[in-house]
Amino acid sequence: MRDHKLKLKNKTDKKFFDLFNSVFLNDSRKILFIFLVLFCLLGGLFFSGLLVAAVGGSPTKVLSSLIEGSFQTPGAFGRTLVEAIPLLLVSIGVIVSFRAGHYNIGTEGQVAIGALFAAVIALQIPGPEWFVIIFAILGSFLGGAFWSGIAVGAYLWRRVDVMISTLLLTFIAPNIVLFAVSRDYLLLDTTESNTRLASQSERVPEEKRLPEFEIFGQELHWGVIVAVILSILLTGLLGKSVWGLKVRLLGANFVTAKRFGVTQAKEGATALLLSGGFSGLAGGMIVMGSAFRLQSHIANDFGWDGLLSALVSRLNGYFAILSSIFFAALRTGSSFLAATGVSRTITSVIQGLMVIAALMPAALIVVISRSDYGRQRFGNQKKGSD
Amino acid sequence: MLGDIETVLESSIRLGHIFLFAALGEYVAERAGTINISLEGMLLAGAYGAALGASETGSPVLGIFAGIIAGLLVAFLQALLSHRLNIDQFVVGIALTVLVIGLTTFLFLEIKMLPGRIHEFEIPLLAEIPVIGKALFAQRWLAYAAFFLPVLIWRIVNHTRWGLEVRSVGEDPAAANVNGIPVLKRRRQSIYVAGLCSGLAGAYLSLAVTGAFSQNMSAGKGVVAIAAVLFGGWTLMGTIFGAFLFGFADALGLSLQIIGLNIIPGPILDSMPYLLALIGLLTISNLSRKPAALASKFDASGDAS
């Protein structure tokens, strides 16, 4: 009798201990992780400053002119937000594909092809304005999806690595755009304004552009709202829906996923097509909302920057909104750097350092949990990870 | 006509060497189970390091060493992050490539460089052979590394204990681990080989092919080198063949312009190497089997570090 009671007591003790362990220790891990993320991002900025100082510039001046160029001057914040639209759209696409374990890193090419589709529709399809705008935007989505669809097809047919094929396609895409805008029977601008026949298309007529609106003195177009809604929607779907679970399962472990009936052919392909489509949409937004004409370098690193912004957001759709605004601020602010004597390409170094910084917390967690302190504090949860 | 063929062949081989050197390194890394996306970054770092080294010391030879060290530096970071700290190898590769592109572009504008160019060196007699003589034996002297680097890689991978261990780590890391092979260590070392080779490729690019560094001058050459390994079906001969095939595609545009043929429009010629790589991957690559554990993570249970 007595023994029995003792046993029970021990059991509850153990249960309580387990509960305590799981709640408190996991939380402290979480807090540690958030702290590490902030620490690493600040560290990335610090190293950027160090580099500026190393080449003889002043880090504070660079920072202040970046902020001035991207937020403070009149209308600058609006410009930054407009730049952030394609970045955000690309980021969401990248997040979906990375979560599915298919690394679509050819976003730059998909942006270019999306822009091409949008420009073709906007310039050559007749019809009422609202129809052309919607059609062009949808067309850009299809264009991007088509470009990533080639990689999907290559993967399904011949198991060609998606990462390699999307990257190779990225280098082909700008050449296709260049071909289109340098032939007069395609998209070359043959109006009188383009007397030197530069390789570019005609401007999208005023009434066929994305409608603009003004808020707090900042000029924005409707793409801002579309992008934010899409990003919240897709992040919600990814996190809460059955489809999202399937996609994440596929990315986490495709053998397990196969057991549950989640296949590369269906969910993986959908994720990749969606990812390409969102990049294409970004291209459409560039043509219809800010550039208004097609050139061979229409993608202008938006694809790469969006990819990086997704990595910096640690593949979280909500944080992607913040990180794409940050990346857009680097783009708009960089034009103000001339006064500081530091080349504007410092922003691409900052981008690279931030991406590395976003990777570091996971690495530091590994280091900490391998150390003696970490073992005592967090227990050796993953057996044999030392 | 014969002269035209000679021109095309010469420039294909010259450009093919870039892919060859980088692809040889990637070949070793992939046999150990890593798809090393940062190859592009290593190549660019090598090109910049070589140009800077040659410009600072005034000697191309020291420049080559500087390029190799720059490539190794990127390789070290890739190996550290992906095979010691367990971060996803692709994400690390992308991040490092981006960092290298940004850093070299920035430093290129900040630091002025005047690197010397590697001299041309004709091997007497052999260079007199018609058609192929000029292509093979009248290059800048670093190109002749192409004669013994593949042999070296072949010997190391196929005829040493280290090479056997590298291959086993790429095929079945769990079994290799049970047999006492430090899996992650071998993978890291194979990445160092990739860094060394692509550093050399970068040095060749900036010191021998162009004679100067320019912004983002690798422009996807690293990716094509990776594609060459995949195209070659993870065999050494296939990789070499792939590298020269893509070199040929790369040179085609240039050569056709020199010869005066303008049938194919420029934009299409420019995308030839990438297009050909893609078509190659679609048609030939999966005739052979890839390393079973390619791109897989390995939990560090056996690696005491």
pLDDT per residue as tens digits for the range A212-235: 777 777 778 888 888 999 999 999
Residue reference for tokens 């190109």 = B143
What digits encode the pLDDT tens for the residues B169-192? 998 888 888 888 888 899 999 999
What digits encode the pLDDT tens for the residues A345-357? 888 888 888 888 8
Closest-CA distance, B85 to chain A, in angstroms, reads: 5
Give helix A107-124 / helix A76-99 axis angle, nearest 10°: 120
Tell me if A36 sits within 8 A of A365, measured CB to CB: yes
**Stretch B152-158: mean pLDDT, rounded?**
92
**Stretch A117-126: mean pLDDT, rounded?**
88
Query: Chain B contact for A184, CB < 8 A?
Result: no
| Residue of B271, B275, B283 to mutate when probing chain A, most A C-beta within 10 A | B271
Q: What is the DSSP letter of B91?
A: H
CB contact under 8 A, B230 and A161: yes
Q: What is the pLDDT of residue A386?
A: 37
Total-model pTM:
0.86
| Rounded distance between C-alpha atoms, residue A74 and residue A68, angstroms | 10
Q: Identify the burial level of B19 via C-beta atoms within 10 angstroms of its C-beta, where 0-12 means exposed, 13-18 middle and 19 or more buried.
A: buried
Query: Chain A contact for B23, CB < 8 A?
Result: no
- The answer regarding whether domain B2-117+140-297 maps to CATH 1.10.357 reads no
| Rounded distance between C-alpha atoms, residue B30 and residue A167, angstroms | 18
What digits encode the pLDDT tens for the residues A310-368? 988 888 888 899 999 999 998 888 888 877 777 788 888 888 888 888 888 888 877 87
Domains (range + CATH), chain A: 25-57+342-386 (no CATH), 65-340 (1.10.3470)
- Residue A220, helix vs strand vs coil: strand
Closest-CA distance, B141 to chain A, in angstroms, reads: 31
b/e A347-382 (16+ beta carbons within 10 angstroms → b): bbbbbbbbbbbbbbbbbbbbebbbeeebeeebeeee
Least Cα distance to A345 among B221, B43, B49, B101 occurs for B101
Contacts 24+ apart (CB under 8 A), B243-246: B243/B16, B243/B19, B243/B20, B243/B23, B244/B12, B244/B13, B244/B16, B244/B19, B244/B20, B245/B16, B245/B276, B245/B280, B246/B16, B246/B19, B246/B273, B246/B276, B246/B277
Shortest CB distance from B98 goes to which of A182, A346, A351? Answer: A351
Tell me if A350 sits within 8 A of A41, measured CB to CB: no
Written as six digits, the tokens of A329 are 């601020």
CB contact under 8 A, B274 and A168: yes
CB contact under 8 A, A179 and B268: yes
Query: Chain A contact for B197, CB < 8 A?
Result: no
CB contact under 8 A, B271 and A175: yes
Residues 242-271 of B with CB under 8 A from A: 265, 267-268, 270-271
User: Is the pLDDT at B25 greater than 90, yes or no?
Assistant: yes
CB contact under 8 A, A356 and B95: yes
Helix, strand, coil content of chain B in percent (nearest 5):
75, 0, 25
* Residue of chain A whose Cα is closest to the Cα of B88: A359
Q: What is the pLDDT of residue A385?
A: 40
Residues facing residue A201 across a β-bridge? A188
ipTM rounded to 2 decimals: 0.84
Confidence of residue A283 (pLDDT cuts 50, 70, 90): very high
List all residues 6 or more positions away from A42 whose beta carbon is below 8 Å from its beta carbon.
none
Q: What is the pLDDT of residue B46?
A: 94
- Domain spans in chain B, listed from the N-terminal domain onward: 2-117+140-297
What mean pLDDT is reported for chain B? 85
